[in-house]
Homo-oligomer: A and B are copies of this chain.
Amino acid sequence: MLRMKITVCREAHFNSAHRLHNPNWDEERNKTIFGKCNNPNYHGHNYDLIVKVTGDIDEETGYVMDTKVLKDLIEERVIECFDHKNLNLDTEEFKNLNPTAENIAKIIYEKLRGGIQKDLALRITLYETRRNYVEYGE
């Protein structure tokens, strides 16, 4: 039988304020494109994050990657930076980058990629609300 890859998935959560805004546009264009998400006083979300790591099963442990290790990595590199923060004001990453769900997922991917073995694939799912979410990665 062909040796298929297996994926382990770990869910985490953070609660942040943000606003969508492009500083190169005037106020009117920002309002037209981003609507109520452009509110200058910010609004917020409970972000649900799923991190997926794909590779081979280690024969000694039966693990692709120890999910306790993955949980701690997510905690340290993502939750501590973004939880109970204002993404636009309190983080370096979104000082000059619009914190859309797409861009947040991409930044989370980049923050985690270095902490995971190179031969493992990484994929991010980020729920902004129960009805809106994005997927990014290998």
Binding site for B on A (CB under 8 A): 4, 6-13, 15-18, 20, 22, 24-25, 33, 35-37, 39, 41-46, 52, 57, 60-64, 66-68, 83-86, 89-90, 97-103, 105-106, 129-138
Contact = CB atoms under 8 A, between A and B. Distances in A.
A113 B85 CA distance: 34
A52 B13 CA distance: 22
A43 B84 contact: yes
Copies of this protein in the assembly total 6
14 contacts: A6-B134, A8-B102, A9-B132, A12-B131, A15-B43, A37-B84, A39-B90, A41-B86, A41-B89, A43-B44, A45-B46, A61-B100, A62-B102, A67-B132
Given A6-B135, A8-B133, A20-B62, 4 more contacts: A6-B136, A43-B86, A45-B45, A57-B103
A41 B61 CA distance: 19
Nearest to A113: B1
